[in-house]
Amino acid sequence: MFDMLQEINSRPSLFEFYTAEELWTDEHTSKKMLEYHLNESIDLSSRNTEFIDDSVEWIVSRFGVGESFSLADFGCGPGLYSTRLAEYGADVTGIDFSRRSIEHAKGVAKKKGLPINYLQCNYLDFDTEHRFDLIIMIFCDFCALSPMQRKSLIAKFHNFLKPGGAVLLDVHTLNIYKEKEEAALYERNQLDGFWSPNEYYGFVNTFKYDDEQVSLDKYTLIERKRTRVVYNWLQYFSRESLSREFEKGGFKVEGFYSDVSGTVFSPDSPDMAVVARKDE
C-alpha cells in the first residue's frame, strides 16, 4: 500500500506521458465528454451557446467566411463551430479524436443538409492535400500539447494553409498559472462518475513546473479490476511566448484578443486568442 501511494503521489518528468487517447476514445469518458459538449448552459467541454454564437459571428466578419471559403476545425468535437460556419457557406473540414463526437456531428450535418467533411483521428496525425483559408483550434486545446507536439502542429498548419491563410486559436494565460496551486485530493467516484460506470476511487495530484509554466493534473483511477493513470498537461502562455512559437513556424502574428469572440485584449484576462497569418 505504501509503495502504491508513493507512486500515486510521484511527480513525472515534464510531458513524460501522453494519454489523450484514454480521455477521448474510452467508451465511458467519451460519452460523458459529449454530454458536457451538448450542455448549452455550461463552459466545460465547450463554451455556452451564447458565446459560441457571438464567436462565430465575429469569425465570419473577421475572416470573411462565406461561399468558396475553406476552413478546418481542429478538435471540432460535436461540430458546434463547424456546423455554424458551414451554414455561412464555408467548405468545412472537422477533425476530432472522439468517435462519439464525430458521429454526433455527422448526424447534425446530415439533418441540416450540410456537406461537412468530418474525420475521426488524432489531429496530430492528420494529413491532407486540401488547402484552407482558415484553421481554428478552440477551447485551449493547444495548451495540452508538449513543445514538440506544438511545433509539429504549427508546421502542419503552415503546410495546410493557402498563401496568406490564417490560424485562430486560444490558450490559457499566465494569470491562470499564477493562481493554480499544487494539491493532492482523493474522492470516491471522482467527478460524479466521469471516469467509469463502475465504482472507483480517484486520486488527483496537481503539480506545477515553474521554469516552463506548465501544470499537470495527474489522475489515478482505481477500480476493482483495473488501475489507470491519466495525465492532463497544460502549458500557459504570455503574448511573447506564443508569438515566438508561431514566428518560428513561419507565421506573422496579427493580433491578440481576450477570447475567440474578438474581445479587446486585457492583460488581466485568464485566456487569450491569437490570429497568426501565414506569410504570402
In which band, very low, low, confident or very high, does the pLDDT at 179 lie, cut at 50, 70 and 90?
A: very high
Q: Note the pLDDT tens digit of each residue in 205-250.
A: 999 999 999 999 999 999 999 999 999 999 999 999 999 999 999 9
In which band, very low, low, confident or very high, does the pLDDT at 42 lie, cut at 50, 70 and 90?
A: low
Top-tier CATH class for 28-172+238-278: alpha beta
pLDDT score, position 166? 98
In which band, very low, low, confident or very high, does the pLDDT at 251 lie, cut at 50, 70 and 90?
A: very high
Q: Note the pLDDT tens digit of each residue in 255-277.
A: 999 999 999 999 999 999 999 99
pLDDT score, position 40? 63
55 CA to centre of own chain? 16
As a whole-number percent, the residues of the chain with pLDDT over 90 amount to 87
Local structure of residue 173 (DSSP, 8 states): B
pLDDT score, position 20? 87
Q: Which residue has the higher pLDDT, 135 or 40?
A: 135
pTM: predicted TM-score of the whole model, two decimal places: 0.95
What is the greatest pairwise CA distance in the chain? 62
Cα distance between residue 247 and residue 82, in whole Å? 27
Q: Note the pLDDT tens digit of each residue in 147-159.
A: 999 999 999 999 9
Q: Residue 22: which of 103, 155, 115, 122 has the closest Cα?
A: 122
Type and span of the H or E element at 137: strand 132-137
Is the pLDDT confidence value at 45 over 50? no
Is the pLDDT confidence value at 46 over 60? no
Q: Note the pLDDT tens digit of each residue in 190-207.
A: 989 999 999 999 999 999
Owner of C-alpha cell 485551449: 140
